[in-house]
Amino acid sequence: MFKFDSLIIGSGLAGLSLALKLADRQKVAVITKKALLDGASSWAQGGIAAVLSPEDSWDEHIRDTDVAGAGLCDPATTRYVVEHGKASIDWLIQQGVPFSRDNDNNYHLTREGGHSHRRIIHAADTTGLAVQQSIAAKVRSHPNITLLEHHISIDLITGNKLGHQDNRCYGAYALNIPSGEIITISAHNTILATGGAGKVYLYTTNPDTATGDGIAMGWRAGCRVANMEFIQFHPTCLYHPHAKSFLISEAVRGEGGILKLADGTRFMPRHDERAELAPRDVVARAIDFEMKTHGLDCVYLDISHQSKAFLQQHFPNIYARCLELGIDITQQPIPVVPAAHYTCGGLMADLRGRTDVDHLYAIGETAHTGLHGANRLASNSLLECLVFAEAAAIDILSQESAVFTTLPRWDESQVTDADEAVVISHNWAELRRFMWDYVGIVRTTKRLQRAQHRIKLLHEEINEYYNHFHISADLLELRNLVLSADLIVQSAMSRHESRGLHFSKDYPEALPLAKPSILAPPNYLVRPARL
């Protein structure tokens, strides 16, 4: 049995930031399914939103966040995150993150959809990678941090699973993917920072690691989830057979990019007075409408009116990747389609990152803090990771020391080797296809019911497989994806209105009062002192 003061599951910006903030006073373990940088944070292009200019203000950032969130953002959370934005950026600068500068050697701020000011600090168009590389280098060299790469968490170990009369997390079981060994980890505090569930959809900008692991594990442990129906579809994913869902940053529209049909007709002003700078949900629905109306495979994003020097300076990664695929963005428009991008809901967490289960935290995209409401404002995601990593660190380090609990080993005595692994790949493909068809940008009650019926059948088949055969990483991810899909559909069916990212043809109007959709698992224990 391994023993750590804190166990962090996930190696994105939230998890690695927290690891660094704890490691000077604690023994910390970080579990990640692949290598340290193989997560969604490294893929982030645009930047980090924060009030860094004297022309900007907290109130305006808060207002922009709430407008994008369609009135569903939690006021206290939004103010807390915005007011801690500059301190988070200062911390990153101290870690050596090479943010882009302008001609006067000041940090360059760009603007994205939904923002009233230039407030996005960035490192060219590969901000996430630049941030993650700077932090990962320090994580790797820290003597108090143990990295468990190529390990996938199986499930959390809680008091009710151990037969205790408490509601506490004691650690987790994890699978060493290369060796097949299952290890037991005892921890005073466990932090879920596994990202979102974008891989539940056929088309997504997310990496292959985004399989809803933390959300599913937290739900099984007794945590509530909120707002899982709000899946953000990024409006502009590169449409190309060899692109592997390559994202075209929001900042391209922020710097003047125009959305057009194949014949060159601009269409966004017909849908919203903010045109290309409208929030993502508006732009994604507009593109979806134009594609379906005209029978198109894609639309086009044109930034060719900017100079080659400008594009190479501001979007070097996008310029190079498109050129590799035969698209010269200085001369021709970029073919784009919407794709699942961000999970706005998740495990309910308070302003310290605490969930419904004692000593279990959720931060980053795994968590529902109330910041994003019904639609996340561009570049608020990395900001949330940083602010809540700091908040959780403060709470964890304020605790008194505790004695480690001896935990039972994983029991494999009743299982055998799988007979047909092809079942996993077939179920995975079926799930992602019907989620795209039935639970996409535009929904109906009938479509949701069809998805729910198929999810029930997949649940039964996968649980039987899980209970009878040796586990694998693919099986664990599929199990978590199906549960995440179920929570998305349940939440969508409970919302009888259209708001933000959830648009229903059966309920096209928004209700007068915005309320979160909250689901509680069967083993949820009501505790009035928390969330």
Convert the pLDDT of each residue in 150-162 to its tens digit.
999 999 999 988 8
Angle at alpha carbon of residue 433, lines to 202 and 35, rounded to 5°: 35
In this prediction, residue 242 has a pLDDT band, given cuts at 50, 70 and 90, of confident
Active site residue 270: no
Instruction: Please give the CATH superfamily to which domain 2-230+344-397 belongs.
Output: FAD/NAD(P)-binding domain (3.50.50.60)
Is residue 468 scored above 90 in pLDDT?
Answer: no
**Is residue 399 within 8 Å of 380, Cβ to Cβ?**
no
Fold matches, 2-230+344-397 and 234-340:
no
pLDDT at position 527 is 64
Paired strand residues for 226: 346, 518
Q: Give the DSSP per-residue string, 90-126.
A: HHHHHTT----B-TTSSBPEE--TT-SS--EE-STT-
Residue 123's alpha-carbon distances to 41, 163, 207, 422, 439, in angstroms, are 13, 50, 20, 42, 34
- Say which of 280, 432, 447, 495 is annotated catalytic: 280
Q: What is the mean pLDDT of residues 324-337?
A: 96
Helix segments in 118-201, DSSP class H: 127-141, 159-162
Ranges 45-49, 148-152, 166-170, 417-421: which has the least confidence: 417-421
In this prediction, residue 477 has a pLDDT band, given cuts at 50, 70 and 90, of very high
Is residue 322 scored above 90 in pLDDT?
Answer: yes
Is residue 431 scored above 90 in pLDDT?
Answer: yes
In this prediction, residue 392 has a pLDDT band, given cuts at 50, 70 and 90, of very high
The dihedral through the CA atoms of 484, 12, 27, 397 has a sign that is negative
Paired strand residues for 423: none
More confident position, 531 or 153: 153
CB atoms within 10 A of CB 476: 23
3 state DSSP class of 37: coil
CATH for 234-340 is: 3.90.700.10
More confident position, 417 or 227: 227
In this prediction, residue 287 has a pLDDT band, given cuts at 50, 70 and 90, of very high
More confident position, 401 or 409: 409
* % of the chain with per-residue pLDDT over 70: 99
Cα separation, 38 vs 295, whole angstroms: 36
Q: Give the DSSP per-residue string, 292-329.
A: HHHT-S-EEEE-TTS-HHHHHHH-HHHHHHHHHTT--T
Is residue 420 scored above 70 in pLDDT?
Answer: no
pLDDT at position 163 is 86
In this prediction, residue 528 has a pLDDT band, given cuts at 50, 70 and 90, of low
The encoded tokens of residue 323 equal 């050129």
Cα separation, 465 vs 413, whole angstroms: 15
Cα separation, 195 vs 215, whole angstroms: 9
3 state DSSP class of 225: strand
The encoded tokens of residue 285 equal 């629905």
Identify the H or E element spanning 156.
strand 151-158
Q: What is the mean pLDDT of residues 41-66?
A: 92
CATH for 422-510 is: 1.20.58.100
Identify the H or E element spanning 289.
helix 280-294
Domain residue limits, the chain: 2-230+344-397, 234-340, 422-510
Stated pTM of the model? 0.91
Q: pLDDT digit string (tens) for 119-136?
A: 999 998 889 999 999 999
Q: What is the mean pLDDT of residues 414-426?
A: 79
Q: Which amino acid is at 289?
A: F
- For the chain, the first-to-last Cα distance in angstroms comes to 32
